[in-house]
């Protein structure tokens, strides 16, 4: 039993340290760090949902940011026009994002491999275009502004970054637990089977399309949650949330963290968010730094940091 634990030992320690840091760190850190941590947690939710598709089902969905944007816009539109409650906007965002996935899924899933990558990206661009041009609904290029932090009727105001951080942390933990359960469930195992060998799964009696479709919609729903939280965080949403850069950034988060681990993409989200925000302080050429990260990750660490760690461990085991 012990030798089964040891290879994972460092991972477990790392996760424990991270968990403690996330729980109590914000009480002592400067505000701007707390704000970045909040943003990281929000993106971690959508990155994990993308990991379900990329890492676990083997579906390279490049357009996932579109569902994030749909969730964000749904919240923004309803909150600025109809004064819906926080839980109301959350619910509506989930429905909208999951609904869009449900409609887009059967079309996108007609393709496989690189075709699927391209089609999901193209569809995301259509959604971007919708947000950009449907000015009467979305405000077009100007986006929607003026979204205030939710009033939850609690003794702590969400306008305080630290309080809002803990709200987001609760959502992150709930989403993480749900996705973790999904991965461990029979359905989660079927997704891995599909990733490993569709042909084998088919002759074993699995309806491949149905499983992929469900995964697609579930991932879309979580992206909707993330989008909703983002709008309250940022108080502003623009079509850029669904542009090509954001679509690829989500993929980068999953890849740099390590696809198929759930924890990896969470780390990936933190890495990318902090990188983008901190590097731009030191140089105007932060896009080039980001470009370097893309290239280096793709060339040398395609299975991410968790993959690197695993390879280090197997090398240690052999020596």
| Binding residues for another protein restricted to 47-76, rule: CB under 8 A | 54, 60, 62
Q: Are 148 and 234 spatial neighbours (Cβ–Cβ below 8 Å)?
A: no
For another protein, the binding residue among 41, 45, 90, 108 (CB under 8 A) is 108
How far apart, in Å, are the Cα atoms of 180 and each of 70, 188, 206? 24, 9, 22
Question: How far is 222 from 232, CA to CA, in rounded Å?
Answer: 16
Beta bridge partners of 145: 236
Which residue's CB is nearer to another protein, number 22 or number 221?
A: 221
Applying CB under 8 A, does 78 fall inside the site for another protein? no
Q: Are 201 and 194 spatial neighbours (Cβ–Cβ below 8 Å)?
A: yes
List the x/- string, 209-248, binding to another protein by CB under 8 A. Answer: -----x---x------------------------xxx--x
* Shortest distance (Å) from residue 131 CB to another protein: 9
For another protein, the binding residue among 12, 196, 278, 308 (CB under 8 A) is 196
Question: How far is 230 from 75, CA to CA, in rounded Å?
Answer: 9
* Shortest distance (Å) from residue 119 CB to another protein: 6
Q: Are 49 and 64 spatial neighbours (Cβ–Cβ below 8 Å)?
A: yes
* Beta strand extents in 247-307 (DSSP E only): none
Applying CB under 8 A, does 79 fall inside the site for another protein? no
Piece in contact with another protein (CB under 8 A), picked from 74-82, 87-95, 176-184, 230-238: 176-184
Which residue's CB is nearer to another protein, number 113 or number 155?
A: 113
Applying CB under 8 A, does 304 fall inside the site for another protein? no
Applying CB under 8 A, does 267 fall inside the site for another protein? no
* Shortest distance (Å) from residue 210 CB to another protein: 9
- Would you tell me how many other CB atoms lie within 10 Å of the CB of residue 63? 25
Question: How far is 131 from 240, CA to CA, in rounded Å?
Answer: 9
Name residues contacting another protein, limited to 134-153 (CB under 8 A): 134-137
* Shortest distance (Å) from residue 151 CB to another protein: 32
Q: Are 269 and 223 spatial neighbours (Cβ–Cβ below 8 Å)?
A: no
Applying CB under 8 A, does 287 fall inside the site for another protein? yes
* Shortest distance (Å) from residue 167 CB to another protein: 24
* Shortest distance (Å) from residue 115 CB to another protein: 7
Piece in contact with another protein (CB under 8 A), picked from 45-53, 77-85, 117-125, 272-280: 117-125
- 276 closest CA partner among 292, 289, 259, 258: 289
Instruction: Please name the residue that has the structure tokens 């290239």.
Output: 295
Query: Which DSSP state fits 237?
Result: E
Which residue's CB is nearer to another protein, number 20 or number 177?
A: 177
Applying CB under 8 A, does 11 fall inside the site for another protein? no
Applying CB under 8 A, does 175 fall inside the site for another protein? no
Question: How far is 73 from 71, CA to CA, in rounded Å?
Answer: 6
Which residue's CB is nearer to another protein, number 128 or number 165?
A: 128
Question: How far is 202 from 187, CA to CA, in rounded Å?
Answer: 15
Applying CB under 8 A, does 28 fall inside the site for another protein? no
Applying CB under 8 A, does 318 fall inside the site for another protein? no
Contacts of 31 (CB under 8 A, 6+ apart): 161, 162
């Amino acid at each position: 039993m012990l030798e089964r634990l040891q290879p994972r030992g460092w991972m477990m320690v790392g996760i424990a340290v991270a968990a403690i840091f996330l729980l109590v760190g914000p009480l002592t850190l400067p505000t701007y760090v707390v704000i970045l941590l909040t943003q990281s947690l929000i993106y971690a939710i959508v990155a994990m949902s993308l990991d379900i598709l990329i890492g676990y089902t083997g579906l390279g969905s490049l357009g996932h940011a579109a569902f994030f944007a749909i969730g964000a816009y749904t919240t923004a539109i309803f909150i600025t026009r109809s004064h819906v409650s926080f839980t109301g906007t959350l619910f509506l965002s989930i429905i909208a994002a999951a609904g869009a996935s449900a409609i887009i899924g059967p079309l996108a899933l007609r393709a496989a491999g690189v075709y699927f990558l391209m089609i999901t990206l193209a569809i995301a661009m259509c959604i971007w275009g919708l947000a950009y041009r449907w000015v009467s609904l979305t405000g077009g290029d100007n986006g929607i502004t003026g979204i205030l932090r939710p009033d939850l009727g609690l003794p702590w105001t969400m306008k305080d970054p630290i309080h809002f951080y803990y709200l987001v942390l609760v959502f992150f933990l709930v989403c993480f637990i749900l996705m973790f359960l999904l991965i461990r469930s029979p359905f989660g195992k079927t997704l891995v089977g599909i990733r490993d060998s569709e042909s084998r799964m088919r002759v074993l009696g699995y309806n491949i399309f149905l499983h992929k479709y469900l995964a697609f919609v579930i991932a879309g729903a979580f992206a909707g949650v993330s989008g909703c939280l983002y709008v309250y965080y940022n108080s502003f949403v623009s079509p850029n949330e669904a542009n090509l850069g954001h679509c690829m950034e989500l993929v980068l988060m999953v890849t740099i963290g390590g696809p198929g681990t759930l924890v990896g993409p969470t780390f990936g989200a933190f890495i990318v968010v902090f990188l983008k925000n901190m590097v731009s302080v030191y140089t105007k050429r932060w896009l080039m730094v980001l470009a370097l990260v893309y290239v280096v990750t793709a060339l040398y660490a395609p299975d991410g940091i968790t993959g690197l760690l695993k390879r280090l461990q197997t090398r240690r085991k052999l020596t």
